[in-house]
Amino acid sequence: MSKTMPDLSGFIGSCGLYQWCQIFPHVMTDGIKYLADTLECYWLLDIVGSYQHKLRTCDFQLWRIEVLVDNSALVSMREDTNEPVVIIQEVPYTDFPVGVFEFYAERNETGNVTLLLKSEH
């Protein structure tokens, strides 16, 4: 059974940054942490982290998860809204809420990536 999307409207900017995995030297904002904790979807962050070695020259990334009614999903990444898809990965099953959700990943000057909600940008 699919979960419902939590209310993320209160996340504007971020006071904290959190590392989610020792393997990837990347961080997430308050909003992404709340999303990951609430929906238990750290696997989605791991997908994003697993592609960063291929995206070293990409400073801005628009990530999208589209969950279909059969609970399969497509996770994709573009370098901007109107750019072609660079990454696409199929997920055979997820309990992430059905529909489309987008978030950003931004690379800083040290090469680390911050995952953030669109409203936290």
The CATH code of the domain at 22-120 is: 3.10.450.150
State the average pLDDT for the chain: 90
Helix (H) or strand (E) holding 32: helix 30-39
Q: 34-57: per-residue pLDDT in tens?
A: 999 999 999 999 999 999 989 989
CA distance 40 to 29: 16
Q: Which residue has the tokens 């399969």?
A: 72
Percentage of the chain beyond pLDDT 70 is 95
- Answer whether 0.85 is exceeded by the pTM: yes
**Separation CA 49–CA 21 (nearest Å):** 9
Poorest-pLDDT segment among 19-23, 28-32, 56-60: 19-23
C-alpha torsion 78→108→31→61, nearest 10: 0
